[in-house]
Amino acid sequence: MQSRNMLVKCFIAIYCFSFVNSDGPVRSMTTFFNPGCETQKCPECSPGLAYIVSKGDNDILHYIISAIGGPPSALVIQTNKPKGKYQLQIDCRKIASKNETERREAIIKPDGVKEIYSFGVVFTRLFQYNDTADKADINYYNVNSTAWRVYDFDVFEWQDLSMWSSNDFIVMKVKNSGEVIDRALYNGSLVLQFHLFDHSDRSTELPHLQYDAESTQIDFTLQDIDTGNSSSARWGLETVLLGQDSAVTPMSIVTKKSVDDEYTPGVFQVSNWLTRPRNEDNGGYLQWKPVCYLKSARARSVATKVETTGLSSTEYIDSFLNSSILYSYFSDIQIISRYATNFTFGLEKDGGFTKTNYTSWTAQLGYGAPPMDKVSSLVVGVISAGLGIPVVIIMFGGLFVVIKKKTSKGEYTDLDSDQSTIQ
């Protein structure tokens, strides 16, 4: 009984250790809300801006997250680590200004601060379509049909992000979706959460993405939405990834397969959208697993598929980019590398969004080579035990048989020789 309890404890220890992998560099993070304003909650800077400074040994990552004046966006700027001033000079009021000159002067690097690389992500539009044919394919329907609703994020009203955010957790909640179409989205029915990290580890929430100190995880959630007459509503999220390189620089989505589904049961793929496919170590990425969840309590039983529509140019939505916070940093959005795709949620016969009125998806924005799954100590331990124990049993069993045979020969008595002696 004691040996059995010891075995159980060993497996528990191995399992816990498999989720602890903080072996990478550690950064020091500081968060500022609404820099450039006299108070943290400034009406002029509504719905607010978060500026996070993440200091490493040799560089600094500057994160700027906001939906001021346009769609929700995240800008990442990697700079050197000077001896003097290193914080960017950010003025929220200028970002919110209608004056183009002021907006271009809203983010300034102090003397001695040199950019190494910069990139960002912008969520531009949300598509609702009525999947009456249950194809789970956004391209199956004509965008001009009455089965569609298109929500432009640049006209959304957002709640003050400082109300829900902390040093490493930035939360955007929609207030309402405006009057252009309707007010179907309101009071937190759409939520974007940015979780920043100062170390390497693995998320405790499905799909258990591996993260490092150069990444931030983004949770996108839709819940409690009035889908109107759409009895089979599904959603698509239009997303743009930008990098500082010239507009002709290609990006790519690379999907890698794995035989190990330990962390996300039933999922054997991970996708990386790379800003520099030929130079991953010095570029940006958006990473995700092709799975989302139809209930807040994430589990395999409520998981469904996530797909993309492939990369396309952004000329038709550059106005969204020009209204985003990235316009205040990049001198001209149209001359830098930028591509768009639609993330679509759902699988045939999964009931669609209407079934649970909930969809949640996780992605990861980061700098450098994207983190990849590796076999954990738990799997190594189980494989070792599964292969090692039979080998040990065979070895000791064979040794026991050999010893037993030799012992039996030593104890054998010749009956014929005993009888001749007696006579």
Per-residue model confidence as pLDDT tens digits over 262-318: 889 889 999 999 999 999 999 999 999 999 999 999 999 999 999 999 999 999 999
For residues 367 and 417, membership in a common domain is answered with: no
Residues of the chain with pLDDT > 70: what percent?
Answer: 84
Strand-strand pairing, 73-80 and 190-196: unpaired
Higher pLDDT, residue 385 or 380:
385
Q: What is the mean pLDDT of residues 138-151?
A: 84
Residue 164 has pLDDT above 80, yes or no: yes
Q: What is the mean pLDDT of residues 143-169?
A: 90
Q: What is the mean pLDDT of residues 24-43?
A: 86
For residues 245 and 197, membership in a common domain is answered with: yes
Residue 323: helix, strand or coil by DSSP? coil
For residues 279 and 410, membership in a common domain is answered with: no
Which pLDDT score is estimated for 331? 83
Distance CA 105, CA 363 (A): 31
**pTM (2 d.p.):** 0.85
Residue 76 has pLDDT above 80, yes or no: yes
Residue 320 has pLDDT above 80, yes or no: yes
Look up tokens 């159980």; give the residue. Answer: 8
For residues 371 and 383, membership in a common domain is answered with: no
Distance CA 25, CA 23 (A): 7
Domain that holds residue 31: 20-375
For residues 125 and 206, membership in a common domain is answered with: yes
For residues 371 and 384, membership in a common domain is answered with: no
Write out pLDDT tens, residues 232-270: 999 999 999 999 999 999 999 999 987 778 889 889 999
Which pLDDT score is estimated for 15? 46
Look up tokens 């331990």; give the residue. Answer: 381
Residues of the chain with pLDDT > 90: what percent?
Answer: 70
Angle at 98 between CA 94 and CA 99, to 5 degrees: 75
Residue 172 has pLDDT above 90, yes or no: yes
DSSP state of 370: P
Which pLDDT score is estimated for 392? 66
For residues 139 and 281, membership in a common domain is answered with: yes
Which pLDDT score is estimated for 366? 98
Average per-residue pLDDT for the chain: 87
Residue 231 has pLDDT above 70, yes or no: yes
Look up tokens 């996070």; give the residue. Answer: 52
Which pLDDT score is estimated for 350? 95
* Among candidate residues 5, 20, 10, the one with its CA nearest the CA of residue 384: 10
For residues 129 and 3, membership in a common domain is answered with: no
Write out pLDDT tens, residues 78-122: 999 999 999 999 999 999 999 999 999 999 999 999 999 999 999
Confidence band, pLDDT 50/70/90 cuts, at residue 376: low
For residues 313 and 415, membership in a common domain is answered with: no
Q: What is the mean pLDDT of residues 42-63?
A: 94
Residue 131 has pLDDT above 50, yes or no: yes
Residue 345: helix, strand or coil by DSSP? strand
For residues 276 and 320, membership in a common domain is answered with: yes
Residue 3 has pLDDT above 60, yes or no: no
Confidence band, pLDDT 50/70/90 cuts, at residue 384: low
Total tally of structural domains belonging to the chain: 2
Residues 174/177/183/186 CA torsion (nearest 10 deg): 0
Residues 207/211/214/219 CA torsion (nearest 10 deg): 20
Confidence band, pLDDT 50/70/90 cuts, at residue 373: confident
For residues 94 and 130, membership in a common domain is answered with: yes
DSSP state of 371: P
Which pLDDT score is estimated for 341? 98
Amino acid at 350: D
Contacts 24+ apart (CB under 8 A), 14-22: 14/377, 14/378, 14/381, 15/378, 17/377, 17/378, 18/376, 18/377, 18/378, 18/379, 19/201, 19/202, 19/204, 19/376, 20/201, 21/200, 21/201, 21/202, 21/210, 21/376, 22/199, 22/200, 22/201
Residues sharing a CB contact under 8 Å with residue 406, sequence separation 6 or more, in sequence order = none
For residues 292 and 400, membership in a common domain is answered with: no
Q: How many CB atoms lie within 10 A of CB 200?
A: 18
Residue 328 has pLDDT above 90, yes or no: yes
Residue 203 Ramachandran class (φ > 0 left, ψ -120 to 50 alpha, else beta): beta
